[in-house]
Amino acid sequence: MKRTAFTKFHEELGAKMVPFVGFNMPIEYTGINEEHITVREKVGVFDVSHMGEVWVKGPKAFEFTQRVTSNDVAALTDGKVQYSCMPNGKGGIVDDLLVYRVDSETYLLVINAANIDKDFAWLSKNAIEMGLEVGKELYNASDEICQLAVQGPLALKAMQKIVDQPIEDMEYYTFKKVTIAGIENAIFSTTGYTGSGGCEIYVANEDADKLWKAVFEAGEEFGIKPIGLAARDTLRLEKGFCLYGNDINDETSSIAAGLGWITKFVDGNDFIDRAEWERQKEEGCPMRLKGFVLEERGIPRQHYKVVDAEGNEIGEVTSGTMSPMMKQGIGMAYLKKGYWKVDSEIFIQIRNKAVKAKVVALPIYKG
C-alpha cells in the first residue's frame, strides 16, 4: 500500500484511513457532513497527492496534446488550465484530466489516480507514433509530486499569507509558479473538484512537511480543517462534476456525458475519435447523463435502476448520495431520450420501492 508524503499527518490527526487505488488515504476525520460544510462555508484541505502528473515537452508538445485531448489546446495561453478528456479510439473515454500550458513546448497533464498506469500506457503509445521520446518528452512525474487542494471561499485569502505574489484576484482555471512558505517553483492553480473556489498546490515530495504545516498555520484564523475523500465525493456530486469509473468510462462518450463543452469541433483540432463524437453531436445519443433530486426520502446509489411511472426501466444511477447542503438525495444517471429534460418525472428503484425524483440542471446544488 502506497503512502503519500502527507500520510503521517492524517494518522496523527486520527483520520479514518482506507485503501484507495493502491494508496492509504483518509476517508474522513470528524464526519462527512461537518467536513463538507467546512469547505462550502470556510476552507478545507484535501491530500490529493495520489493524482497523476505527466509532462509533455518539446517541439511536438502542442501537436501531441491537441491530438490526445478533446478540448482545443490552441485556445490555451501560458498560465491557463483546461478541463478535457482523452478519447480512446473506440468512442469512449480513457480519462478526464486537466491540461496546464506552461509555454508553447511545455504542458502538464493531471490525471486520475486510478488511471495513472493505463493513461501513461495510452499516452506512450500515441507519443511513439508521433515521434516523441517516452521518458524525456513524455515523462511520468506522478511519484515525485505531492499536491494539496485548499478549497472553500476563504482559501485564497488564507493562502495569500504564505505566497510571495498576488493570488486572490487570480481567474478561475489559471496558475502561477510561486514561492509558497519558502518553497520555490510551486505550481499554484485556481482549480478544484468542489465548486467552492480555492486552489491546488503542487510541490516536490521533499517539501511536503513544510507545505502542510504552513497551510494549516495560515488557515487557522479562517477555521481551516483537513478533509477526507468522502466529503470530496459529496462536494463534487452536488456540483455535477463527473467521476471517472462512475459517470464516465471507456464506453461512454463525452457527448453522452454532457461534456460537449470540452469537445471542440474547431478547425485544426483533429483529436482522436473526432468523427464519431461529431456524429453523436449531430445525430444525438440514446442515453444522456443528467442530474436528479429525490422528492421523497431515500439515498440513491450507483447502479440503482431508474424507471418511469409505469415501472419501465429508463436508465441507471451512476453516482448518488445524500446532499449535506440540501438534505435531499441527489445523483446523476444515464437516462433514455424522452426522460432527460429538466423537471421530467423519474423514479429511482431503491430496494423494493420506486422513489419519485425529478431531473435538474447542473449544478444540482446552486449555492
Instruction: Provide the CATH number for the domain around residue 354.
Output: 2.40.30.110
Q: 192 lies in which domain range?
A: 7-51+144-238
How much is the pLDDT for 274? Answer: 98
What's 77's domain CATH number? 3.30.70.1400
Residues 18 and 156 grouped into a single domain: yes
**Is 357 a member of any domain?**
yes
Residues 90 and 21 grouped into a single domain: no
How confident is the model over 251-301, as pLDDT tens digits? 999 999 999 999 999 999 999 999 999 999 999 999 999 999 999 999 999
| Last residue of one domain, picked from the residues 82, 107, 140 | 140
**Is 130 a member of any domain?**
yes
| Cα radius of gyration rounded to whole Å, the chain | 21
How much is the pLDDT for 314? Answer: 98
| Last residue of one domain, picked from the residues 112, 140, 168 | 140
How much is the pLDDT for 150? Answer: 99
Residues 46 and 118 grouped into a single domain: no
Cβ burial, residue 130 (10 Å; 0-12/13-18/19+): middle
Residues 42 and 149 grouped into a single domain: yes
Residues 79 and 112 grouped into a single domain: yes
Residues 152 and 231 grouped into a single domain: yes
What's 208's domain CATH number? 3.30.1360.120
**Is 311 a member of any domain?**
yes
**Is 272 a member of any domain?**
no
Q: Look up residue 340 and give its three cell numbers.
A: 432527460
Cβ burial, residue 174 (10 Å; 0-12/13-18/19+): middle
Extract the residue ranges of the chain whose pLDDT is less than 70: none
Residues 166 and 187 grouped into a single domain: yes
Quick check: 298 and 363 in contact, CB under 8 A?
no
| Last residue of one domain, picked from the residues 180, 212, 238 | 238
Number of separate domains in the chain: 3
E-assigned strands of the chain?
16-20, 23-28, 44-47, 52-57, 81-87, 93-103, 106-111, 138-140, 145-151, 175-180, 183-189, 198-204, 225-226, 287-294, 305-307, 313-322, 329-336, 345-350, 353-360
How much is the pLDDT for 71? Answer: 98
Q: Look up residue 36 and give its three cell numbers.
A: 463538507
224: number of Cβ within 10 Å: 22
**Is 65 a member of any domain?**
yes
How much is the pLDDT for 10? Answer: 98
**Is 264 a member of any domain?**
no
